[in-house]
Amino acid sequence: DTDPAPDLRSVLPSEVNSKYNTIYGIVFDAGSTGTRIHIYTFHQRAAGSPLELDGEIFESVKPGLSAYANQPEKGADAVLSLLQLAQDAVPSSHWQKTPLILKATAGFRLLPVHQAEGLLSEVRKVFNSSPFLVPENSVTILDGTDEGILAWITVNFLTGRLHGDHSVGTLDLGGASTQITFLPLNKATLDETPQESLASFELFNSTYRLYTRSYLGLGLKEARLAVLEASVSVAQQEQTFRSHCFPPALNGSWVFSGVTYRYGGHSDGLTGFHLCYSEVQRIVVGKLHQVEEIRHSPFYAFSYYYDRAVDSSLIGECHVCAA
């Protein structure tokens, strides 16, 4: 049992770097719309040198953990089922030295503290009963600032832009929050930005000072609920949420975070862009901080921006990056 399971061999190319020790790492992304596991394999050419990524196994389940706010044990079961994959993929000889972490995002930030803590504590139990290495603070909620910074680092690292003045900003649209992050080059931007939206950190011997802002509740799904003025309690009474964004005759239902929401067009027969636009404006007016510099800065947009751009044929599907 020192080899990965046969069906996973292709994604964990242990033979390629067999002369080096394989190092594994397991990361859970507990998003508002799903829980995902990433099982990474790395090798290291010499002690102290950087890890080099060899492969990754990815799997996900829906709904997100935050949907189990009232049934934390059931939420932890979803984590346990994904963890089984890791036990199959990582040779047992490596279990004890393979770190396991879970980072929860905006779905958790929206929960009352006692519910979020209840879920995290059930997940900790699952982690502690696993054969893997559980570092201190391995199960936590990522704050919006860290989420924005990590997305910015990822995009600029992967596109070779971390050094120099040619970084790109990032726009990340999740289910429950959205983040905008960029490296300001104008002094005016720094002057007009509140301190809590500026984050400094060291990376590869450079210091970065980023503008980053996370809007909790303005992720795609939560913003949709806000536009519909939908609440869980009203949804449970099976009332229909109506909007001018829908054709008048439309009636449908939508499941988010384990709750079914019925929605439909207005009985006044009115619909169309302008009416819809003002409904959406109502939820963003006065909430957005906009600096002039972003008008002239390049941005990369991903997550639901990508999904929706594909759905509406604004861009083609990226088969290589979806793999």
Q: Which of 17, 23, 27, 36 binds ligand CDP (CB under 6 A)?
A: 36
Alpha helices in 133-292 (DSSP H): 144-158, 187-192, 220-227, 232-236, 273-284
Residue (64 or 72) nearer to ligand CDP, CB:
64
The candidate with the shortest Cα–Cα distance to 174, out of 224, 218, 213, 143, is: 218
Residue (105 or 170) nearer to ligand CDP, CB:
105
The residues pairing with 241 across neighbouring beta strands, listed in sequence order, are 263
Q: Which amino acid is at 43?
A: H
State how far the Cα of 80 lies from the Cα of 83, in Å rounded to an integer.
Answer: 5
State how far the Cα of 175 lies from the Cα of 29, in Å rounded to an integer.
Answer: 13
Residue (98 or 257) nearer to ligand CDP, CB:
257
Q: Between residue 281 and residue 320, which ones bind ligand CDP under the rule CB under 6 A?
A: 303-304, 307
Alpha helices in the chain (DSSP H): 72-89, 106-109, 113-128, 144-158, 187-192, 220-227, 232-236, 273-284, 304-311, 319-322
Burial status of residue 190 (CB atoms within 10 A of its CB: 0-12, 13-18, 19 or more): middle
Residue (89 or 173) nearer to ligand CDP, CB:
173
Q: Is 181 in the site for ligand CDP (CB under 6 A)?
A: no
State how far the Cα of 56 lies from the Cα of 58, in Å rounded to an integer.
Answer: 6
What tokens appear for 107 in the block? 């779905």
Residue-level length of the chain: 323
| Shortest Å distance, C-beta 171 to ligand CDP | 12
| Shortest Å distance, C-beta 151 to ligand CDP | 10
For the window 140-179, what string marks contact with ligand CDP as x by the rule CB under 6 A? Answer: ----------------------------------xxxx--
Q: Which of 12, 39, 67, 106 binds ligand CDP (CB under 6 A)?
A: 106
Q: Which of 22, 33, 145, 243 binds ligand CDP (CB under 6 A)?
A: 33
Distance of CA 290 to the CA centre of its chain: 23
Q: Which of 29, 122, 146, 293 binds ligand CDP (CB under 6 A)?
A: 29
Q: Is 215 in the site for ligand CDP (CB under 6 A)?
A: no
Q: Is 98 in the site for ligand CDP (CB under 6 A)?
A: no
State how far the Cα of 223 lies from the Cα of 217, in Å rounded to an integer.
Answer: 6
Residue (120 or 189) nearer to ligand CDP, CB:
120
What tokens appear for 158 in the block? 């992967």
| Shortest Å distance, C-beta 142 to ligand CDP | 9
| Residues marked as catalytic | 147
Q: How many chain residues bind ligand CDP (CB under 6 A)?
A: 18
Beta strand extents in 18-51 (DSSP E only): 22-30, 35-43
Q: Which of 22, 41, 98, 105 binds ligand CDP (CB under 6 A)?
A: 105
Q: Which residues contact ligand CDP by CB under 6 A?
A: 29, 31-34, 36, 64, 105-107, 174-177, 219, 303-304, 307
